[in-house]
């Protein structure tokens, strides 16, 4: 542009020397090019790292350690793309003003920026900052990414492994008297859905326990407190929660009876199996029987139980095949699958030819209850008396036979002695 302008002016002023103008144009073009290169360099430099070149001159060294032998190196690229990449070093390390650094550097206070999570953490089971600093869950402070970023330690797919660093090692578990739950979770239906299927909606540690304000399961405010577990599980299993709340167990819990079962009593807390799996079906009856001991004993006398126990048939009727799994109602409720009007339909689930005569079968007949089962009670009594009488008769008969045999033996010896004499 400068050159073309000088050419036009030369037509008007032919004797003018335009060399200085040409040199000025060259300098302007060089300045514009230099500014463009500087702008490009600033654009590709991560975050505020361009303002922290003095710090990175040392801390970019991957082998840099402090006097205690801890690594103090910073990956510039990771830090620049992290959630803290917009900050300057001095924003967190406020007591470091120059070099050399102070002998004793103050611990970085995350609560300066993260006041709410810090206050929640202070009242949680992880309140000890010595054992549970923020970085033990979120990772290195210079490479913390948003929870929606797959590189984040608290990304849904990574949470079990992050929590498992403490809750899956024998050392930490023994130190605090905790079970090692990480392997149990990973083998569960939730762990399989998350790790194998990649379902981000599958329940992870945070889904049930929370993130910062994690409380003991004995605390009534905790989502894992027994009375709160149905609501916690119901966050994902909404329909099941509605059924449970309408059943006998849910109503008992709502009334304050903490002896009534909740989700974890039947499904466990971490080692949750698919309900259709044979392993769960085979253990379901003892689970129900742990509370309903009288019903378990009568069930074990039936064809259903003996077939399942002796042959291991998973198709054999279990408690919830007849009573329902979650909306468990008494037989007096017309909606109950064991109400008289519904028995044919319930039994027809397995026995296609079931009719009114068929459903007279009593799955919990109690031979010891005269009032409930009088015929069975007297048959049992008669058979027991008959058995006792037969055994008593043969015991007496055997004793008399032995006595007579011994008497005959003595008489025989006496007779032989007289003959010899």
pLDDT digits (tens, 9 = 90+) for 60-107: 888 888 878 888 899 988 898 999 988 888 888 888 888 888 888 888
Specify whether 237 is located in the same domain as 207: no
Q: How much is the average pLDDT of 303-319?
A: 77
Q: Is the pLDDT of residue 274 over 70?
A: yes
Q: Is the pLDDT of residue 40 over 60?
A: no
In a domain, 99, yes or no: no
Q: Classify residue 324 as left (phi > 0), alpha (psi -120 to 50) or beta.
A: left
Q: How much is the average pLDDT of 146-167?
A: 93
In a domain, 375, yes or no: yes
Q: Is the pLDDT of residue 163 over 70?
A: yes
In a domain, 93, yes or no: no
**Who wins on pLDDT, 116 or 360?**
116
Q: How much is the average pLDDT of 293-315?
A: 79
**Who wins on pLDDT, 307 or 239?**
239
Q: How much is the average pLDDT of 274-299?
A: 86
In a domain, 220, yes or no: yes
Specify whether 202 is located in the same domain as 280: no
Using a pLDDT cut of 90, give the percent of the chain over it.
Answer: 44
**Who wins on pLDDT, 302 or 269?**
269
Specify whether 286 is located in the same domain as 348: yes
Name the token pair of 89: 């070093």
Cα–Cα nearest to 90, from 58, 129, 51: 51
Q: How much is the average pLDDT of 347-357?
A: 89
Q: Is the pLDDT of residue 396 over 90?
A: yes
Contact (Cβ atoms closer than 8 angstroms) between residue 182 and residue 164:
yes
Specify whether 219 is located in the same domain as 250: yes
For 207, residues 6+ apart whose C-beta sits below 8 A from its C-beta are 235, 236
In a domain, 184, yes or no: yes
d(CA 394, CA 386): 12
Q: Is the pLDDT of residue 356 over 70?
A: yes
The model carries a pTM of 0.72
Q: DSSP assignment, residue 314?
A: T
Q: Would you place residue 295 in the very low, low, confident or very high pLDDT band (cuts 50, 70, 90)?
A: confident
Q: How much is the average pLDDT of 212-229?
A: 95
Residue 11's pLDDT is 46
DSSP 49-60: GGG-HHHHHHHT
Residue 31's pLDDT is 56
d(CA 348, CA 336): 15
Specify whether 351 is located in the same domain as 376: no
Q: Would you place residue 13 in the very low, low, confident or very high pLDDT band (cuts 50, 70, 90)?
A: very low
Using a pLDDT cut of 70, give the percent of the chain over it.
Answer: 86
Specify whether 205 is located in the same domain as 220: no
Residues of the domain holding 282: 275-365
Specify whether 357 is located in the same domain as 371: no
Residue 37's pLDDT is 47
* 100 preceded by a cis bond (ω within 30 of 0): yes
In a domain, 69, yes or no: no
DSSP 195-226: HTS--TTS--HHHHH-SSS---TTSTTSTTSG
Number of structural domains in the chain? 5
Specify whether 352 is located in the same domain as 304: yes
Residue 284's pLDDT is 85
Specify whether 346 is located in the same domain as 300: yes
Of 39-53, 132-146, 304-318, 381-395, the one with minimum mean pLDDT is 39-53
Q: How much is the average pLDDT of 383-402?
A: 96
Q: Is the pLDDT of residue 6 over 90?
A: no
Specify whether 353 is located in the same domain as 383: no
In a domain, 315, yes or no: yes
Residue 173's pLDDT is 75
Specify whether 281 is located in the same domain as 359: yes
In a domain, 19, yes or no: yes
Specify whether 166 is located in the same domain as 231: no
């Amino acid at each position: 542009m400068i050159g073309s302008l000088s050419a036009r002016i030369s037509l008007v002023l032919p004797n003018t020397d335009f060399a200085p103008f040409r040199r000025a144009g060259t300098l302007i073009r060089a300045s514009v090019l230099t500014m463009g290169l500087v702008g490009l360099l600033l654009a590709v430099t991560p975050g505020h790292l361009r303002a922290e070149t003095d710090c990175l001159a040392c801390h970019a060294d991957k082998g840099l350690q402090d006097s205690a032998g801890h690594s103090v190196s910073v990956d510039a690229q990771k830090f620049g793309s992290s959630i803290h990449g917009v900050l300057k070093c001095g924003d967190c390390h406020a007591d470091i003003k120059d070099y050399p650094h102070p002998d004793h550097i103050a611990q970085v206070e995350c609560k300066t920026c993260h006041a709410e999570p810090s206050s929640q953490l202070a009242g949680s089971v992880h309140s000890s900052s010595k054992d549970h600093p923020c970085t033990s869950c979120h990772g290195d402070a210079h490479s913390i990414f948003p929870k929606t970023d797959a590189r984040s330690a608290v990304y849904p797919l990574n949470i079990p492994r992050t929590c498992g660093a403490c809750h899956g090692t024998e050392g930490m578990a023994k130190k605090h008297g905790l079970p090692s739950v990480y392997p149990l979770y990973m083998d569960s239906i939730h762990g399989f859905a998350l790790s194998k299927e990649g379902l981000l909606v599958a329940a992870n540690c945070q889904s049930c326990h929370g993130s910062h304000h994690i409380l003991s399961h004995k605390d009534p405010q905790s989502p894992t407190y027994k009375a709160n577990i149905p609501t916690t599980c119901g966050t994902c299993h909404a329909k099941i929660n509605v059924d449970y709340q309408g059943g006998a167990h849910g109503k008992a819990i709502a009334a304050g009876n903490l002896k009534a079962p909740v989700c974890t009593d039947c499904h466990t807390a971490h080692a949750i199996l698919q309900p259709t799996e044979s392993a769960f079906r085979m253990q379901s009856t003892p689970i129900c029987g742990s509370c309903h001991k009288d019903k378990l004993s009568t069930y074990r006398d039936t064809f259903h139980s003996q077939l399942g126990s002796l042959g291991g048939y998973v198709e054999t009727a279990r408690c919830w095949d007849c009573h329902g799994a979650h909306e468990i109602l008494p037989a007096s409720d017309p909606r109950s699958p064991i109400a008289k009007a519904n028995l044919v339909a319930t039994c027809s689930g397995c026995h296609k030819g079931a009719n009114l005569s068929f459903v007279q079968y009593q799955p919990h007949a109690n031979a010891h209850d005269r009032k409930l089962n009088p015929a069975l009670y007297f048959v049992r009594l008669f058979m027991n008396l008959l058995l006792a009488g037969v055994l008593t008769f043969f015991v007496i008969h055997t004793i008399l036979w032995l006595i007579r045999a011994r008497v005959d033996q003595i008489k025989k010896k006496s007779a032989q002695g007289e003959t010899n004499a």
